[in-house]
Structure 1
Amino acid sequence: MPPPPPPSATKRSALHSVAIVVLCTAAMVVNNANNTYVSISLPTIGRELYAQEVALQWLVSAYPLSSGCLLLFFGRLADIYGRKNAFLLGSAFLAIFTLACGFAQDEITLAVLRGIQGIGGAATIPASLGILAQAFPPSRARSAAFATFAAGAPVGGAVGMVIGGVLTELTRYTWRSVFFLAAGLSLAAMIGGAFAFDADERSTDLDQRVDWLGAALVSAGLVLVVFVLGQGELATDGWKSPYIIVCLILGLFFLILFVRWQMRLERMHPLMPVQPPLASDANTVIHPIESAPSSPASRGSMQLISWAHTYTPPPLMRPGLFARARGRVGVMYGIAILQYAAFMGWSFWIVLYYQSYIGYSPLRAVVRLVPMPICGLLCNVLVALIVGRIPVLWLIASGLTLTSTAALLFALVDPAATYWAFGFPATVCSVVGADFVFATGTLFVASVSAPGEQSVAGGVFQTMTQLGTSLGVTISTIVFNRIKKRIEGRGPPPQDMLPAYKDTMWTCFAFGMCATLMSLVFFRGLGTVGHPGRVEKIDADVDEKAGGEMERDEPEATVR
């Protein structure tokens, strides 16, 4: 049976529900716009602050570095101490430091503020996922809510580029105007959330301690790995620089230690089945440990669990999460990395192609990207209507194919051709494909996550997209630089750099096609997600075809 709706859900009006979805989606839009509006403003920032090219790179990288590396930690805090509290505090923090970025007077200060700014984004996004999971029980309404929220990621990226270009070129304060607007939007989301979000429900976790060691290990590991991905190509000796090699080794070492530590904690803190509330007290959750009969065996189990709780906290992230739905959650996380490597790699190079190769101004480049937010919003409505009706495979595979098609079009682009031949269809395909994958992936992960780990599971998904962004931009930059050096070696400048831009698009196309093949292999026969009866058993279609009895996949009622 699907879990009963929360008490607040039965009293909430349709307008109130819409407000919750809009506010959570606005937080997602702002978070992803923070990753892109700076990119299109970099030439102007460099001129006004007299910044070096290396410093400009960090203006882009600092925000996703801190945001992506702290998502897991803040997801756990949100699940324990309240998702509404995490959202409000994160939004306030984000608004304050986004505003501060607008007053920076040098590139170093701006880069530091961008890193601090990312902490606010790391707090709001996992909390938003948890708020939606708490507010909407499995139903078509939940499908629409998650699809709308997920659409905020690609739409936010597109909106960031468009708004960034327009404000930078047409306003008095140029690039600073973008930070002022983003600060205002974060503040508005905080105020709206204070009134619209349901009160936080008490966590059902018996042990609400935080795994500080795990948080330190995963944060340090991700920071070092993402730092290497962003800095390796810019270092003096490139990837051979000693500090790049040391940081990469240390980062991988910390991540391996984190996984080992989490596996140990997961064995000591297995997910326990939770009994339904007693009829006399609908708000009381009875845990089997608390209601177990007094017997030597039960007392021994209680003593063992008590010892584990005394010396080790619950895991920050259960490695078993990756094995849910017969390992398909782990595959979905891998697809998220490759999808965002393709999508954000394409987005990064398309802006440089228009401005650096074609020679367009920021505003003229933005005009050619306007279809992205428009199509993203329209696609959001479509995804909300179909995500609970069409099998996961078709949504994921078609989305990945569309994203790959966008890269393929620019890998074959003819600069002399009309915009409608290559630019327009690629712009539409990129954002529609990203919408399909992000919405379906987010809902899929939420459907197989236990109630107390919704924010953490969503935080892992967001972390994968951030890693994918760094991976896509890094690998495509390596390809561009190698081809550029080869072209420059043919003779004195100027040389046509079009082959270098095309090869970056072939790289993004390869990322997208690898993800497509993964979806075809691992999601074949998988049913739909988002409706009662499908959340608990997401492999129903496979089992029915095999002629076997359906086996429910209920993580909240399974000891792993």
Structure 2
Amino acid sequence: MTGRESAGGSMVVEPGARPGTVLAVVAVVQFMVSLDLSVVNVGLPEIAAGLGFSAVGLTWVIHAYALTFGGLLLLGGKAADRYGRRRVLLFGLGLFGLASLAGGFALEPGHLVAARAVQGIGAAALAPAALALLTTTFPTGKARVRAFGVWSAMNAAGGALGVLIGGVLTEYVSWRWVMFVSVPMAACALALAWRGIVDGPPTARGGRPDVLGAVLVTAGMTLLVFGVVRTDQYAWTSPVTLTTLAVAAALLAAFVHVERTTAREPLIRLGLFANRSVAGANAYNLLVGAAMAAAFYFVSLYLQQVLGTGPALTGIMFLPFALGVVAGSVLAVRLGYRLAPRTLLVIGGLLTATGFAWFSLISPDGAFTTDILGPSIVASVGFGLCLGPVVSTATAGVAPHEIGIASGLLNSSRQIGASLGLAVLGTAAHHRTGPIVTPEALNDGYALGLTLGAALLVTAVLVALTVLRRTSPPSRAEPADDREPLPARIDRRSTG
């Protein structure tokens, strides 16, 4: 059964709904969008050689996806609430699959970057719609904990296994298959959603969504990343960099102004950030996303460019990380009835930070067993512990008609964090490496980037401790006819 909440706070059942199908579709969707964030990492050297990317231009294969994904997720969440989650999900899946197919046939750098950007637009539509469907299908109790456990495991597995899949495809088939691989997954999810998902009426009514706001925030974030990335050519204090960053700041300020004054339906109600769970979870998620995206990039390049490992073997070396994240996600489900979400976020963040600090001890003459395996296990289990609790926290106490936008905001913070983290930490690593590129110099740059990633994770833990309230662990069995609204139950359990 798929439930939606009535005005009185009770659950209304949608006839013909199939929770198993909803969970299967959401699992495929989350695996696919997470996979596309990491699947290109190992193939970047081959992509550069095949299409003629410059060193700076190559990073836009990652940025184009992350920025359009993150920048338009708020619009995707609003559209899901306004026009129906099933409809928006189907549109996003179709667009994502077509963009993946086009990217595999790219002949020039601009073609691939454009395809990655369109992939991001499709992901921005389907990801919040899928997560909102999951939230309303499994509203409370043990089923909700398990559903979010599956979601977090697929989220983690997609990001981690993307490196393995990308390495194998790049070495034994072609780098083009890192784009083609998403086509059958999108088609499978589309078929399941078309036949098996029954959506209720749209939860939000009103004016047209604020497209101008979406354009402003996406353009502002793109210029911000562009300005940071180009500091390898123009110093931070140069007129070019200062002007770029000033325009980016002006666009982001204009976005805030538009959201406060628009006659259309705002992209996001700024008052949503008054909810400490929403604000704290998104700040935490942004910092973790920044650290993780940069770590994947640095470790992948360390293995290939410092230790001389091939793409396929590099991908295999990420397998312990993938398994550790899944193990951490399963452990989070088991601990979810004993520990509050905030506690799991703190423990997971500290474990991941410890793993990153261990990663920063890499050396030019290192080896997989001494420099990669141990920190991979520690960091991955910690990361897995964070995934489910941060989603549950970010949607706690949110009104039913804003669940889609809250889901989009959470995904947005992660993707924007990924792009900003890669830009800032990548730039810092590049400056540490210097103009003369040797394995030793590259090692020093990557080690610095991983150290800064550990610092970001410690900051995320401080956010969890200072912003999020203390709550009790969820009950193993909440009454199905409990008429008390979810926000009230959450506030009642709060002790801080």
TM above 0.5, yes or no, is yes
Deviation at 1:389, TM superposition (A): 3.9
Deviation at 1:496, TM superposition (A): 4.8
- Quote the residue 2:450 is aligned against: 505
Residue of structure 1 aligned with 2:362, choices 413, 423, 428: 413
**Residues in 1 aligned to 2:287 and 2:192: alpha-carbon distance in whole angstroms:** 34
| Distance change (3 Å), C-alpha of 1:503 and 1:400 | same
What does 1:123-138 correspond to in 2, within 5 Å?
123-138=125-140
Note if 1:249 corresponds to 2:234.
no
What does 1:199-348 correspond to in 2, within 5 Å?
200-229=199-228, 231-234=229-232, 236-240=233-237, 242-264=239-261, 312-324=263-275, 327-348=276-297
- Quote the residue 1:3 is aligned against: 9
**Residues in 2 aligned to 1:61 and 1:157: alpha-carbon distance in whole angstroms:** 16
Matched letter for residue 448 of structure 1: G
- Quote the residue 1:303 is aligned against: none
**Residues in 2 aligned to 1:213 and 1:416: alpha-carbon distance in whole angstroms:** 52
Deviation at 1:537, TM superposition (A): 3.4
| Distance change (3 Å), C-alpha of 1:408 and 1:446 | same
Deviation at 1:425, TM superposition (A): 2.5
What's the TM-score once normalised by structure 2's chain length?
Answer: 0.90
Per-residue CA distance 1:7-63 (angstroms, 9 max, x = gap): 137x65xxx423311211211111121121112101111222233223322222211
Deviation at 1:241, TM superposition (A): 5.2
| Distance change (3 Å), C-alpha of 1:354 and 1:89 | same
- Quote the residue 1:86 is aligned against: 88
Contact persistence 2:277–2:468 (CA under 8 A): yes
Note if 1:382 corresponds to 2:331.
yes
**Residues in 2 aligned to 1:434 and 1:251: alpha-carbon distance in whole angstroms:** 31
Matched letter for residue 210 of structure 2: D
- Shifted more, 255-264 versus 312-321: the winner is 255-264
- Quote the residue 2:321 is aligned against: 372
| Distance change (3 Å), C-alpha of 1:242 and 1:184 | farther
Deviation at 1:242, TM superposition (A): 4.2
What does 1:13-92 correspond to in 2, within 5 Å?
16-92=18-94
Give the match's secondary structure for 1:313. Answer: coil
**Residues in 1 aligned to 2:494 and 2:187: alpha-carbon distance in whole angstroms:** 47
| Distance change (3 Å), C-alpha of 1:169 and 1:418 | closer
**Residues in 1 aligned to 2:395 and 2:210: alpha-carbon distance in whole angstroms:** 22
**Residues in 2 aligned to 1:121 and 1:264: alpha-carbon distance in whole angstroms:** 28
| Distance change (3 Å), C-alpha of 1:343 and 1:261 | same
Contact persistence 1:226–1:467 (CA under 8 A): no
Give the match's secondary structure for 2:298. Answer: helix
- Shifted more, 528-537 versus 340-349: the winner is 528-537
Matched letter for residue 120 of structure 1: G
Q: Which runs of 5+ in 2 are unaligned?
A: 479-483
Contact persistence 1:444–1:529 (CA under 8 A): no
Give the match's secondary structure for 1:536. Answer: helix
Matched letter for residue 70 of structure 2: G
Deviation at 1:120, TM superposition (A): 0.6
**Residues in 1 aligned to 2:221 and 2:363: alpha-carbon distance in whole angstroms:** 39
Note if 1:361 corresponds to 2:325.
no
Contact persistence 2:277–2:394 (CA under 8 A): no
- Quote the residue 1:96 is aligned against: 98
Contact persistence 1:333–1:464 (CA under 8 A): yes
Contact persistence 2:433–2:441 (CA under 8 A): no
Deviation at 1:529, TM superposition (A): 5.1
Give the match's secondary structure for 2:119. Answer: helix
**Residues in 2 aligned to 1:510 and 1:86: alpha-carbon distance in whole angstroms:** 38
Matched letter for residue 342 of structure 1: A
| Distance change (3 Å), C-alpha of 1:5 and 1:429 | farther
Deviation at 1:398, TM superposition (A): 1.0
Deviation at 1:264, TM superposition (A): 4.2
**Residues in 2 aligned to 1:39 and 1:479: alpha-carbon distance in whole angstroms:** 19
How many residues align? The count is 483
Contact persistence 1:526–1:540 (CA under 8 A): no
**Residues in 2 aligned to 1:161 and 1:340: alpha-carbon distance in whole angstroms:** 16
Contact persistence 2:307–2:365 (CA under 8 A): no
- Quote the residue 1:111 is aligned against: 113
Matched letter for residue 269 of structure 2: R
| Distance change (3 Å), C-alpha of 1:514 and 1:216 | same
Deviation at 1:497, TM superposition (A): 4.0
| Distance change (3 Å), C-alpha of 1:52 and 1:421 | closer
Give the match's secondary structure for 2:43. Answer: helix
| Distance change (3 Å), C-alpha of 1:71 and 1:206 | closer
**Residues in 1 aligned to 2:80 and 2:241: alpha-carbon distance in whole angstroms:** 34
- Quote the residue 1:175 is aligned against: 175
Note if 1:140 corresponds to 2:142.
yes
**Residues in 2 aligned to 1:463 and 1:226: alpha-carbon distance in whole angstroms:** 15
Matched letter for residue 182 of structure 1: S
- Shifted more, 125-134 versus 141-150: the winner is 141-150
Deviation at 1:494, TM superposition (A): 7.4
| Distance change (3 Å), C-alpha of 1:39 and 1:238 | farther
- Shifted more, 241-250 versus 391-400: the winner is 241-250
- Quote the residue 1:194 is aligned against: 194
Deviation at 1:418, TM superposition (A): 5.5
**Residues in 2 aligned to 1:56 and 1:216: alpha-carbon distance in whole angstroms:** 24
Contact persistence 1:355–1:365 (CA under 8 A): yes
Residue of structure 1 aligned with 2:123, choices 121, 124, 130: 121
* Alpha-carbon RMSD: 2.5
**Residues in 2 aligned to 1:519 and 1:484: alpha-carbon distance in whole angstroms:** 33
What's the TM-score once normalised by structure 1's chain length?
Answer: 0.80
Per-residue CA distance 1:485-535 (angstroms, 9 max, x = gap): 29x5xxx96755433222111111110111112222333633335875765
Per-residue CA distance 1:65-110 (angstroms, 9 max, x = gap): 2111111111111111011111111101110110111111122211
Give the match's secondary structure for 1:6. Answer: strand
Give the match's secondary structure for 2:176. Answer: helix
Contact persistence 2:346–2:464 (CA under 8 A): yes
- Quote the residue 1:309 is aligned against: none
Matched letter for residue 185 of structure 1: M
